[in-house]
Amino acid sequence: MRTGMIALALGLLCLRFLPALPPVGGCVMLALAGAALLPFRGYPLGFFLLGLSWACVSAQWALDDRLAPDLDGRTLWVEGQVVGLPSTTAGSVRFELADATSRRVRLPATIRLGWYAGPPVQSGERWRLAVTLKRPSGLLNPHGFDQEAALLARRIGATGTVKAGELVAPAAGAWRDSVRQRLLAVEAHGREGALAALVLGDGSGLSSQDWQALQATGTIHLLVISGQHIGLLAGLVYGLVAGLARWGYWPRRLPWLPWACGLAFAAALGYGLLAGFQVPVRRACIMLGLVLLWRLRFRHLGVALPWLLALNGVLILEPLASLQPGLWLSFAAVGILILAFSGRLGAWRFWQAWPRAQWMVAIGLLPILLMLGLPISLSAPLTNLIAVPWLSVGVLPLALLGTATLPVPYVGENLLWLAAGSLDLLFRWLAWAASLLPAWVPPAIPLWAWLLCAAGALLLLLPKGLPMRMLGWPLMVLAALAPQVKVPEGEVQVWQLDVGQGLAFVLRTRNHTALYDAGPAMGGFDLGERVVLPTLRKLGVRELDLMLLSHADADHAGGASAIMRGLPVKRVLSGEAAALPKLLGAQACVSDERWEWDGVRFSLWQWDDATDSNQGSCTLLVEARGERLLLTGDIDVRSERAWLGGPQAGPVDWLQAPHHGSRSSSSRAFLQATRPRGVLISRGRHNTFGHPHPQVMARLRNLGISSYDNVDHGALHLQLGTFGVPRGTREQRRFWREPAPPADEPT
């Protein structure tokens, strides 16, 4: 039985790693073959095929529900009902619309919308909206967050921006939104958003500083992922009934164990209803129900059985859950504890078991975090050792009881005030711990190093006294110190990062790293912090020898401050040094400045007679073994004409499209003089500027110049000095990604 369940789970989990889905007919054949194998000794393979076929069919249904390609970028009037809890940040409202309809077109079942400077929107309301619709998409960078996978996992078939709208019907049955409004209105030491996260699973009210503290200390699961809270609440209810029975206060006519299990599960379901029954909540309820059933009737079958049943139950109900890191982390943590505490001789007391549990989970989750590309909290064992009981005993009961008694004058508000005070102390302590020991973002490691790390973690989780157990430590250290692939002498590893309507190039020689432009930052959205800095760390960059900011516009220099805070930078240059924040310490770009790193030549140029910011962009020419790359910032036609008379003038192999492909740049004379093999375009999908302009793209086609676009290819990688071609991260196929078009067919 266990073998079949393991095989079924492996088949369901395989979905995450598929480059493409088989056709529906192929899925049917897989299912029939799996069913035919069940009565025979090959039944594990049969369960595997059944799980794989069901996961593929379910994923195909989600892909078929995406917005039609011909509707991408179009503005339509749609009508639907607001579901979930809308969030308001930086003056914009974000919410999800379900059962949306529009005349003469079919729309996805769920659409995520943003309404900038829009009116308040409440859950349960019905709206008629003018929406510019987009197919699910996102920035795609090496080892970075995959927005397309996250949207598919939630079965969101489109995103959009609201242009106008009118309320059709008021909210009906939106009691969760009403509870949230009551929570946000109480006096809570400034922690109203944290209370809403704890009670309702709504993290939109947490500040960026709160998120950073939670991530750095490995405690995000305590505030937002409500599965943790459900387990804590059920454990409190179960422990209360068991304690009353032990002390003789439980009614003798009522058997305590069935009542303890039943009341614990009822409390979990009630909390799940309050938290909205999202995927983590459903996962926790299923697991808890099976554990309580096992405790009541099936303890003789072993503790691993409910874990396997819960894993398969969650994946059968929602196969796309395998695309979410939460599933891997939550089930892995429980599985680690089962492995760590099973088969031990003797019993551990609580003060022995609790610290060991934290360290074992930290060790066991390390390979999972490396696989998922997530930051690793070095302080997590200590912070969770204190934060989990603090939250479960001192905060959660008060918060839930205060929420339940809000209709009673003074009682609910005072209980929530006490809960918020405890939360505030917790956040202050977490912020202090995060400042002492920030999260570690390890560089991407090769497969062999990851296998060593996984083997080391498994050895360390085994009981003491087993042979070779202590070899786990050196294996994990070897994995952590895995050597990075060095750039060959005389070559440059070039990455044009996918930063939307902005620019960021990473240039790595054998012993040096430069960053040309730092990505955009506008309002509270800083892609220097969210994309450029994490990508640098994933690429193994520990310091920058040079950060060159072409000019001071926010889409080129906005992320510079975040990068300065996160990495040592030896030198900062800019075409507009005086317009940048003083903390950057930027020096002015000097035309014809030249230097050489590891056999690679670099040179700068800036038009002395520039009259605006774009014209004054500092350009960078890189030459490796005779192959040349020109980075131009936002220069326009007049700057291009001046460049043709300067020291950098001449043919190049690769050209960064000036000003994102704007009509005011990329003149025919400039392109004919540079004669590039290809143009690299960095821009945002459906940007309001119309970049790249159709006239520019037509000019490139007429001159036989290939174009490579971040929107189509994701981040672009070029090994300068090998005379190869750029490769996009979208070439790493996954079934949820649309394949990139050929480079010579621009958008």
Are residues 721 and 663 part of one domain?
A: yes
- Compute the distance between CA of residue 743 and CA of residue 701 in angstroms, rounded to an integer: 11
Are residues 264 and 244 part of one domain?
A: yes
Are residues 210 and 129 part of one domain?
A: no
* Residue at 744 is within a domain: no
Are residues 143 and 119 part of one domain?
A: yes
Angle between helices 208-216 and 411-436 (to 10 degrees): 60
Q: What pLDDT does residue 747 have?
A: 42
Is residue 728 within 8 Å of residue 716, measured between CB atoms?
yes
Q: What pLDDT does residue 481 have?
A: 76
Whole-angstrom distance between the N-terminal and C-terminal Cα of the chain? 53
Closest residue by Cα to residue 140 from 743, 544, 732, 744: 732
Are residues 610 and 679 part of one domain?
A: yes
Q: What pLDDT does residue 447 have?
A: 87
* Residue at 704 is within a domain: yes
- Digit-coded pLDDT (tens) for 97-130: 999 999 889 999 999 999 998 888 888 899 999 9
Are residues 597 and 498 part of one domain?
A: yes
The two three-digit tokens of residue 530, written as one number: 């969210």
- Compute the distance between CA of residue 197 and CA of residue 690 in angstroms, rounded to an integer: 39
Helix, coil or strand: residue 409: coil
Which residue range(s) make up the domain with 8? 2-64
Are residues 89 and 236 part of one domain?
A: no
Are residues 230 and 163 part of one domain?
A: no
Low-confidence ranges of the chain (pLDDT < 50): 745-747
Say what the pTM is: 0.88
Are residues 683 and 556 part of one domain?
A: yes
Q: What pLDDT does residue 346 have?
A: 55
Question: To 5 degrees, how large is the angle CA 387–CA 388–CA 389?
Answer: 95
* Residue at 487 is within a domain: no
* Residue at 645 is within a domain: yes
Q: What pLDDT does residue 166 have?
A: 93
* Residue at 485 is within a domain: no
Are residues 235 and 141 part of one domain?
A: no
- Residue with the two structure tokens 């110049």: 705
Report the CATH number at residue 577. 3.60.15.10
Are residues 213 and 233 part of one domain?
A: no
- Compute the distance between CA of residue 203 and CA of residue 225 in angstroms, rounded to an integer: 9
Question: To 5 degrees, how large is the angle CA 453–CA 437–CA 497?
Answer: 70
* Residue at 740 is within a domain: no
* Residue at 363 is within a domain: yes
* Residue at 739 is within a domain: no
Burial of 43 (0-12, 13-18, 19+ CB in 10 A): middle
Domain boundary, last residue among 15, 39, 64: 64
- Per the DSSP assignment, residues forming a β-bridge with 159 are 112, 134
| CB atoms closer than 10 angstroms to residue 653 | 19
Q: What single string gives the DSSP state of each residue in 615-638? A: TTPPEEEEEETTEEEEE-TT--HH
Report the CATH number at residue 121. 2.40.50.140
Q: What pLDDT does residue 655 have?
A: 97
Total domains in the fold of the chain: 6
- Residue with the two structure tokens 């109480």: 186
Q: Tell me the residue type at 459.
A: L
Are residues 520 and 417 part of one domain?
A: no
Phi-psi region of 622 (alpha: psi -120 to 50; beta: other; left: phi over 0): beta
